[in-house]
Structure 1
Amino acid sequence: MSESKTPTPTPAGDTYKGWVFKWTNYIKGYQRRWFVLSNGLLSYYRTQAEMGHTCRGTINLATATISVDDACNFVISNGGAQTYHLKASCEVERQRWITALELAKAKAARMQAESDDSGDDFSPSSPPTAPGQGGGSQNSEVQSALRTLGSKVEDLSTCNDLISKHGSALQRSLSELDSLRMTGEAGDKIRQVTERATLFRITSNAMINACRDFLALAQAHSRRWQKALQAERDQRVRLEETLEQLAKQHNHLERAFRGASQANATADNQSASGPGKGEASDDDDNEFFDAMEEAPEFITVPADPQFHKRSSSNVSGFNSEMCPDDQSLNEEPLAMNQESPSQELVPLRKRRTKISDKPNYSLNLWSIMKNCIGKELSKIPMPVNFNEPISMLQRLSEDLEYHELLDKGSKCQSSLEQMCYVAAFSVSSYSTTVYRTGKPFNPLLGETYELDRRRESGYRSLCEQVSHHPPAAAHHVISNRGWTLRQEITVASKFRGKYLSIMPLGTIHAIFEKGNNHYTWKKVTTTVHNIIVGKLWIDQSGEIDVVNHTTGDRCHLKFAPYSYFSRDVARKVTGVVTDKDGKAHYVLSGTWDEKMEFSRVMQSSRGENGSEGKQKTVYQTLKAKEVWKRNPLPEGAETMYYFTSLALTLNELEEGVAPTDSRRRPDQRLMEDGRWDEANSEKQRLEEKQRGVRREREREAASQRTSSQSEEGLSVDEDSLTDPSLKSAPHDSHKALWFERSEDPITGEQIHIYKGGYWEAKDRGSWEECPEIF
């Protein structure tokens, strides 16, 4: 939009836009900027395209002063904090802006005063919404008309005030000129101007009186219209409720009639043990109010007409590529039971739904944490008061809370769509941490944990603590629904005084039998805030790259850190799924504590430069589909460490597990039972026992090195047996029992991979190889 085509000023409340020159500095001088006046706020941008994402500055006219320098220049200041020196292209353009700014300033000041006096947002221009209504389509036009009329009436009142104000000022100025008693031609001109001003004043007064009468009449009619509209809306609500009740009664009578007829027809053959076929088993609401799912639609930007022309084919094609729904997944266990009828006779184990409430123990946090600043927390003994009655191995197994995402992914026909489910699974593991501020128990070296849920969910999981310094846990999950999950996680943590940073190191692998797709990703950083003062809260931040090493597909997820000044929703996660060529196919969005959605990309285009000079991509997508939603917490979770339904069952005693299983750990069991003092004593005993075993292992390793050096003819000092450097050998001489160390063929990392044997040993009940760690 050029300067010559700037729109004529409109009343305050409507948007007024145009190019104005703004003073920047002595080097660049005045620079052309795009200014927008709307709702009492004056904002500016470098270009018109920036309006969608980057505002360079905003000033509130309610508290601003507007002054004129010369023919084209004017200044807007907000108490010294913000000052804009502006220059219009001509005097007429400058006057248009001054008029629009004064109208907006007067209206903004009046609205602010009314808001301060009344304390609510009710105004004649915005009638209240009737109970149970959200501003339906039936009266939207009436409401819009009322709002428009109310706005124009307010603008007219503002114009009256301004005319009265400026007219009085002009009259005073002319009177002062007249008092100078100038003679000659100048005096005649002044008297002529005074006469014209007097005529203008008389005409203005007449217009002001007419406007005042019109305002009073319009406001009175506006109140009547509002009352009439409210009465009509109330009556409509009552009619809808009556109609709903009649529909329910009709439905109930119809069903009762069908049931009675069917019962009479089969009265001779019906047994007394069960209800008749015609009896109602569902609630009326569930049967009567049944809504159809909306068809996919474009939501990001207006769709290109070519997609409208073939919208039906797009919808059917999109749905045909979608994974089977939950019903098809739920049918699989039934098929398994049909193959082995004997399993139908064995009922599923009923898992517990409650543990002992958390005791209220007081603890001086600073007395313990002040000596931990800058240190690795895994090397510092901590009381159980900081813990939750669950081990790190069990927390690792808790990642399987939403295993059904991998079940659905295993049935996808498209690897790109499968990537969406894998990405959602990588996000879902953080949903259990939003309220969980307790620290899990550090596992003892050689500690294991199994989670066998083949009959309920089709998978079984095994974890083992394979290293103590640095602490590392290996995890392997196999599912009979077509996927395998493995990972080795090392947790590094640093206490920074105000917050605690937890950095999980290691790669997670997900392998699907169908298509042989192999995915990898890493975890983001977890931060625990308000360690010393305030209420603890947890945040996740960082980026995740989920990579399909089979096809080259990639999903880049970004976890936005919490910011008090951000306008985005808290705990936001966004991501884009691209193929090996970098073309976007799906967009993911949501939060890591609630839900994730994904949308299919139809087109993408480059947008304008962002705040950091990077181009933003605009995606044209179909309607979003929910891919994951957090399960609600069980009743009373706040007194049970905010455990989920799965977490409540992880430490439940089971027969046949290995003697090194976390369920058998005595200090953890005592803490769960609420006996924290005994748990602290037992924890110290176990840690000292572990240190003794490690010292013995180091002495044996040093003795073996000494023997090998002696055989080679090297001199050995007796003091070398106690050399501290000998105690720092990586991973010392411990070897994991169920995992073996090898190089990962995908990432090239040295990791522990499950070598087998655990489940066979469990079937035999043979645990002779397990060490005695408890």
Structure 2
Amino acid sequence: MSEPKTPTTPAGDTYKGWVFKWTNYIKGYQRRWFVLSNGLLSYYRTQAEMGHTCRGTINLATATITVDDACNFVISNGGAQTYHLKASCEVERQRWITALELAKAKAANMQAESDDSGDDFSSSSPPAAHGQSGAAQNSEVQSALRTLGSKVEDLTTCNDLISKHGSALQRSLTELDSLRLTGEAGDKIRQVTERATLFRITSNAMINACRDFLALAQAHSKRWQKALQAEREQRVRLEETLEQLAKQHNHLERAFRGAAQANASADSKSTAGPGKGEASDEDEDDNEFFDAMEENPEFITVPADPQFHKRSSSNVSGFNSEMCSDDQSLNEEPLAMSQESPSQELVPLKKRRTRIPDKPNYSLNLWSIMKNCIGKELSKIPMPVNFNEPISMLQRLSEDLEYHELLDKAAKCHSSLEQMCYVAAFSVSSYSTTVHRTGKPFNPLLGETYELDRRRESGYRSLCEQVSHHPPAAAHHVISDRGWTLRQEITVASKFRGKYLSIMPLGTIHAIFGKNNHHYTWKKVTTTVHNIIVGKLWIDQSGEIDIVNHTTGDRCHLKFAPYSYFSRDVARKVTGVVMDKDGKAHYVLSGTWDEKMELSRVMQSSRGGENGTEGKQKTVYQTLKAREVWRRNPLPDGAETMYFFTALALTLNESEDGVAPTDSRRRPDQRLMEDGRWEEANTEKQRLEEKQRSVRREREREAQLALSECLDSFSSLVGAHHDSHQAIWFERCEDRITGEHIHIYKGGYWEAKDRGSWEGCPDIF
């Protein structure tokens, strides 16, 4: 970001720093190193170029400086050169504007060889002394205004004298002309009369100009007085703000010392406590807190007072011990399961694969495909496998279980609010697999299924089925032996807008915990793929998630901040607050959707009036030390050549015996692509899509024939239910929580797998 340097000379002749400069519509604003020296503004790509390569220079003596908005400003010298610049913030922009205006004034005065006047307007002290010289500057401005007023009065007097003497001269010449002299004397008189007329015209023009100057000077005098008064008021406000910040800083220092002394006294009572220096470091760690967010945060967090640390020490230790007990019980549970079923103890766990064939390097004319796709639904565009990754949307949906252990821990929580924290972390963790995954999953065929049986390793079984083709919708059901059930029906709406692709998942996710019958629901945020045509593809998540516990009324509001190139905040940031049914905050969540999430317990909250912007008050939460609740697993070695798949994603398309004939693992075009045979995969993909269209047309024809045999009173139904497809393992019903019409698992799949009987499955491959 912008890192301007303070003036390096007492006279303020040099000013350096990073500023964003507009380059073109493809690259946008790019960071450049600007140097202001001796009335010239030059810029370089880097600081290292200052000695040999200057990218451009503008002479400020003839340049105009205009301000566009809070951070943008424009410098132009009449059209030949124009720089559109952007600072990192309003304060930085104002520093540059001040430095540029001073340099421009001095350069103009030097060009007019008026050094004394130029020195009056140049800064003679560094910015830190501005407040101390305010009275002197005020006196200087008042003196200049008085001098200007005196000169205006002299101009008015001269104006009156010219008018008076000009009129007298005109009368004398008129009288002389009336004598009607002849000869040479008459010619001379007429010549003098003509010259006097020209002088009168010129004098009248000068009189009008003086009158205009007088009016303009009086208007500017009033404007300068108002500006001076505004500067005085602003200085007073800044002084008051500085005093308030100093008081707050002093209060925080006292609170920190109190907490340090309390912890030090507690450590001195222990028999095996750390040394003096170690205790100091530990005290600093115990008082960690969330930084206040800069870009319109909804709330602000500060460390809680020492009294809250003392009061809640038992609660905090209880929460930590509960987390530890959860981890221990999770590690012990597979052993307990194996002891209960000795027959499975002799069967080793299946060794999953850790690699897939490397992605081949195929070139593709992107624009030839994309130019006819703008504004169309993505699922209706016949895309080659070059844009895909060798995985289906059903398998991608199963990747939400990458961090299933968060739900395992949530199922063991005794507090619904702590359980909400784990559920919220789980909802964020599902996006961590997308940060480098720019490939498009295969659109599932109608009736396609995918099972993920991890009961022996992780205690859960997952089943997905494509229940609708237009719009594309997939139903998902997960049942875990560790006390939770997850179900969802996701309909993906996507639009290609030329420069970016927006993917809007529609549908509700349900998490039900059998121990206390807590039922949670939430929805997914929008995924945006940028630089579709030009540049490197990158993915962002933005929007808000409201997680609701319909049993207790607890809520959690999560906000995914959209990525901004000019933001100084951490990228991909997620923040949230866990509240009970009465709206009281208990936990604050913060982190990033691609790395980790942390939680802090709220000890006290208040409304901060002076912290808000545009009249909006922000809530200030006093919190304890942040605790990490989730962290992303590292990618496998060589992931960049394997579509950036995670360890779980590498196993999803692995061949497995006993799965349904409609399982995504059996899809031939997807298998060919994974093996690197993309041309054959494209041919096979076209065959499967044409086969699906033929089946759909046949189904519509049969539906029309069946409807035509109905009574005339039902003739209006013709064309309303052409697609009579019925899901195999899911049934459509109304959800009693949300009121939505969704597909819910009706059972029978795992029993059919145990029997090896798949008679009801269609032939889709």
- TM-score of the pair, normalised by structure 1: 0.61
The one-character-per-residue Cα deviations of 1:110-161 (angstroms, maximum 9, x if unpaired) are 9999999999999999999999999999999999999999999999999999
CA positional deviation for 1:326: 1.8
Q: Is the 8 A contact 2:349 2:456 kept in 1?
A: yes
SS of the residue corresponding to residue 138 of structure 1 reads helix
- Further displaced range: 545-554 or 250-259: 250-259
The answer on whether the counterparts of 2:102 and 2:122 sit within 8 Å (CA) in structure 1 is no
Q: In 2, are the aligned partners of 1:23 and 1:86 still within 8 Å (CA)?
A: yes
Once the two structures are superposed, residues 562-588 of structure 1 have per-residue CA deviations (whole angstroms, 9 ceiling, x without a partner) of 111222111000000111111101100
- Paired positions, count: 762
Structure 1 residue 514 displacement after superposition: 1.5
- For the residue of structure 2 that corresponds to 1:351, the secondary structure is coil
Consecutive unaligned residues of structure 1, counting only runs of 5 or more, are 701-709
Are the equivalent residues in 2 in contact too, given 1:394–1:650 (CA < 8 A)? yes
Query: CA 1:66/1:382 → structure 2, altered by over 3 Å: closer, same or farther?
Result: closer
C-alpha contact (below 8 Å) 1:491/1:503 kept by paired residues: yes
Moved more, 334-343 or 475-484: 334-343
Alpha-carbon contact 2:732-2:742 (below 8 Å) kept: yes
Alignment CA distance shift 1:620-1:769 (3 Å): same
**Per the alignment, do residues 60 and 751 of structure 1 end up closer, same or farther by CA in structure 2, a change over 3 Å counting?**
farther
Q: 2:267·2:274 contact (CA, 8 Å) conserved in 1?
A: no
Q: Is the 8 A contact 2:291 2:301 kept in 1?
A: no
| 8 A Cα contact 2:71 2:90, kept in partner | yes
Change (3 A) 1:152 1:571: farther
| SS of corresponding position for 2:391 | strand
**Cα distance in 1 between the residues matched to 2:309 and 2:267:** 59
CA contact 1:12–1:100 (8 Å) conserved in 2: no
Residues 364 and 164 of structure 1: CA distance in aligned 2, closer, same or farther (over 3 Å): farther
Structure 1 residues 248 and 629: CA distance shift in structure 2, 3 A: farther
Listed one character per residue, the Cα deviations across residues 593-616 of structure 1 (whole Å, up to 9, x for unaligned) are 000001110000004362343211
CA distance in structure 1 between the partners assigned to 2:355 and 2:337 by the alignment: 31
Match of 1:747 among 726, 734, 738: 738
Of 614-623 and 324-333, more deviation after overlay is shown by 324-333
Cα distance, 1:306 vs structure 2: 3.3
- Following superposition, the deviation at residue 339 of structure 1 comes to 1.2
Q: Any conservation in 1 of the 2:290–2:302 contact (CA below 8 Å)? A: no
Identity %: 91
- In the TM superposition, residue 3 of structure 1 has moved relative to its aligned partner by 33
Pair 1:374–1:218, CA change in 2 (3 A): closer
Kindly state the Cα deviation for residue 328 of structure 1 after the two structures are TM-superposed: 2.1
Instruction: Determine helix, strand or coil for the equivalent of 2:566.
Output: coil
Are the equivalent residues in 2 in contact too, given 1:125–1:149 (CA < 8 A)?
no
Shift in Å at residue 304 of structure 1?
A: 3.3
**Contact kept? 2:326, 2:412, Cα under 8 Å:** no
Distance 1:726 1:601, change over 3 A: same
Q: Secondary structure at the match of 2:565?
A: coil
Residues 244 and 107 of structure 1, relative CA distance in 2, 3 Å threshold: closer
Q: Are the structure 2 counterparts of residues 25 and 767 from structure 1 closer, same or farther at C-alpha, using a change threshold of 3 Å? A: closer
Change (3 A) 1:191 1:513: farther
CA distance in 1, matches of 2:678, 2:243: 57
Q: Deviations over 1:592-643 (max 9, x none)?
A: 0000001110000004362343211000011011010000000000000000
Cα 1:429–1:105 change in 2 (3 A) is farther
CA deviation string 1:67-93 (max 9, x = no partner): 999999999999999999999999999
Residue pair 2:10, 2:125 contacting (<8 A) in 1 also: no
Paired residue secondary structure (2:446): coil
- Give the distance between the partners of 2:86 and 2:365, measured in 1 at CA: 63
Q: Which runs of 5+ in 2 are unaligned?
A: none
Q: Given the alignment of the two structures, is residue 2 of structure 1 paired with residue 35 of structure 2, yes or no?
A: no
Return closer, same or farther for 1:11/1:643 CA change in 2, 3 Å cut-off. Answer: same
Are the aligned partners of 1:587 and 1:599 in contact in 2 as well (CA < 8 Å)?
yes
How many Å apart are 1:335 and its aligned residue?
A: 1.0
Structure 2 CA distance for partners of 1:469 and 1:266, relative to 1, 3 Å: closer
Q: How has the CA–CA distance of structure 1 residues 480 and 573 changed in structure 2, closer, same or farther, with 3 Å as cutoff?
A: same
Secondary structure, in 3 states, of the residue corresponding to 2:267? coil
Confirm or deny: 8 A CA contact 1:410 1:418 kept in the other structure.
yes
Give the 3-state SS of the residue equivalent to 2:108 in structure 1.
helix
Give distance in 1, aligned partners of 2:270 and 2:582: 67
Aligned partners of 2:601, 2:46: CA distance in 1, in Å? 31
Residues 579, 586 of structure 2: 8 Å contact kept? yes
What is the SS of the residue equivalent to 1:171?
A: helix
User: 3-state DSSP class of the match of 1:324?
Assistant: helix
Match in the other structure for 1:101 = 100
8 A Cα contact 1:324 1:412, kept in partner = no
**CA 351–109 in structure 1, closer or farther in 2 if over 3 Å, else same:** farther
Q: Is the 8 A contact 1:130 1:234 kept in 2?
A: no
Change (3 A) 1:529 1:22: closer
- Greater alpha carbon shift after TM alignment, 512-521 vs 29-38: 29-38
In structure 2, relative to structure 1, the CA distance for the partners of 1:40 and 1:265 (3 Å cut) is closer
CA distance in 2, matches of 1:248, 1:480: 56
In the alignment, what sits opposite 1:641?
643
Per the alignment, do residues 655 and 102 of structure 1 end up closer, same or farther by CA in structure 2, a change over 3 Å counting?
closer
Cα distance in 1, alignment partners of residues 90 and 564 from structure 2: 45
Q: TM-score, normalised by structure 2?
A: 0.62
CA contact (8 A) 2:700 2:722 kept: no
Residue pair 1:324, 1:408 contacting (<8 A) in 2 also: no
Distance 1:163 1:525, change over 3 A: farther
CA RMSD in angstroms, aligned pairs only? 18.0
Deviation by residue 1:376-409 (Cα, 9 ceiling, x = unmatched) = 0101111000000000000000000000000000
Stretch moving more, 161-170 or 578-587? 161-170
SS of the aligned residue for 1:267 comes to: helix
TM-superposition CA deviations, 1:526-580 (whole Å, max 9, x none): 0000000000000000000000000000000000001112221110000001111
Is the CA contact 2:105–2:121 (under 8 Å) kept in the aligned structure 1? Answer: no
C-alpha distance in structure 2 between counterparts of 1:601 and 1:268, whole Å:
25
| Further displaced range: 728-737 or 22-31 | 22-31
Alpha carbons 1:738, 1:756 under 8 Å: kept: yes
Q: For structure 1, which segment, 332-341 or 617-626, has the greater mean C-alpha deviation from structure 2 after superposition?
A: 332-341
CA shift, 1:346, in A, is 1.1
Q: Cα gap change, 1:390/1:252 in structure 2, threshold over 3 Å: closer, same or farther?
A: farther
Q: CA deviation at 1:315?
A: 3.4
Greater shift, 14-23 or 539-548, is seen at 14-23
Whether 2:761 is the aligned partner of 1:762: answer no
Moved more, 248-257 or 113-122: 248-257
Equivalent-residue separation in structure 2 for 1:199 and 1:436 (angstroms)? 83
